[in-house]
């Protein structure tokens, strides 16, 4: 057992037992090192790992915002992990897109019309109507799809959706350049978004799921994601 793993176990134990909760502060690195009888280096390595996993956030200085505090950002962890493995070509982009379709279709079929997240999605759609720039449109699009996922009320699905999106964000951005006519595409996307939202509000989960699947796959097909990508 390597030393930093000992520290990891200790922190995970504190989290599991509830002695350390989101918003709580970890002891200072030097104190923790002394307390666990390890070097500060090992403590820092453990903190780095948990930071990369979206569990901790280290802040310098003094005061309430400083120190190492517990946060909860599962999307960050899953996202960077997926991105790295996409980089090693061990997770094909095709599979990432396929999984995203699967998760988002399910989310659409489960989305509750009265969910606050769905209201947020509707608000985002209005913003997209009066929106000119491609960058701004895509940014709102991301948030719309994430809000859609949140409306299903499953935190794991939401986190995974977000991470999948993050993992292929650069890739999807490059694809935009392949589109023959952005304005036409944007108009079509807007209409499809409205259709999805309408299906959900009318409690037609099955149709919503199908529309979402067509929406995503249609975009990637038009932008040129080949079967061998």
Partner DNA sequence: TACTTGATGTGGTTGGACCACACGCCTAGA
Partner DNA sequence: TCTAGGCGTGTGGTCCAACCACATCAAGTA
Report the interface residues with DNA, using CB under 7 A: 2-4, 26, 28-31, 33, 37-42, 44, 47, 58-68
By CB under 8 A, residue 55 contacts a copy of itself: yes
Site for a copy of itself in 80-139 (CB under 8 A): 80-85, 87-92, 95-96, 98-99, 102-103, 106
Stretch (H or E) spanning 32: helix 29-36
What would the two tokens of residue 203 be? 């409690």
Stretch (H or E) spanning 93: helix 93-110
Near a copy of itself by CB under 8 A, which window of 25-33, 68-76, 118-126, 184-192?
68-76
Binding a copy of itself by CB under 8 A: which of 27, 67, 74, 218?
A: 74
Cβ–Cβ under 8 Å, residues 149 and 107: yes
Cβ–Cβ under 8 Å, residues 25 and 56: no
Cβ–Cβ under 8 Å, residues 22 and 70: yes
d(CA 165, CA 180): 23
By CB under 8 A, residue 41 contacts a copy of itself: yes
Give whichever of 22 and 191 is closer to a copy of itself, judged by the CB atom.
22
Binding a copy of itself by CB under 8 A: which of 9, 21, 30, 31?
A: 21
Give whichever of 131 and 213 is closer to a copy of itself, judged by the CB atom.
213
Give whichever of 26 and 55 is closer to a copy of itself, judged by the CB atom.
55
Q: Is 216 helix (H, G, I), strand (E, B) or coil?
A: helix
Give whichever of 65 and 95 is closer to DNA, judged by the CB atom.
65
d(CA 38, CA 30): 10
Rg (CA), the chain: 21
First to last CA, the chain: 40
Residues near a copy of itself (CB under 8 A) are 4, 12, 15-16, 21-22, 41, 44-45, 48-50, 52-55, 70, 72, 74, 77-78, 80-85, 87-92, 95-96, 98-99, 102-103, 106, 154-157, 159-160, 164
């Amino acid at each position: 057992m390597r030393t930093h793993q000992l520290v990891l176990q200790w922190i995970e134990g504190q989290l599991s037992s509830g002695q350390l909760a989101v918003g709580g502060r970890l002891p200072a690195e030097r104190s923790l090192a002394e307390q666990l009888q390890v070097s500060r280096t090992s403590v820092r390595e453990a903190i780095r790992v948990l930071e990369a996993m979206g569990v901790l956030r280290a802040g310098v200085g003094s005061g309430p915002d400083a120190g190492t505090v517990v946060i909860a950002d599962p999307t960050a962890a899953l996202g960077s992990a997926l991105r790295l493995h996409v980089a090693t070509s061990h997770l094909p982009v095709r599979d990432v897109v396929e999984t995203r379709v699967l998760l988002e279709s399910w989310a659409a079929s489960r989305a509750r019309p009265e969910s606050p997240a769905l209201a947020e999605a509707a608000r985002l759609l209005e913003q997209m109507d009066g929106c000119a720039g491609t960058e701004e449109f895509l940014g709102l699009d991301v948030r719309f799809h994430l809000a859609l996922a949140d409306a299903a009320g499953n935190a794991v699905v939401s986190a995974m959706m977000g991470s999948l999106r993050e993992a292929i964000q650069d890739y999807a951005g490059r694809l935009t350049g392949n589109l023959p006519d952005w304005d036409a595409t944007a108009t079509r996307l807007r209409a499809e978004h409205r259709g999805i939202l309408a299906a959900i509000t009318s409690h037609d989960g099955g149709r919503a799921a199908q529309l979402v699947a067509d929406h995503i796959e249609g975009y990637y097909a038009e932008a040129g994601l080949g079967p061998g990508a």
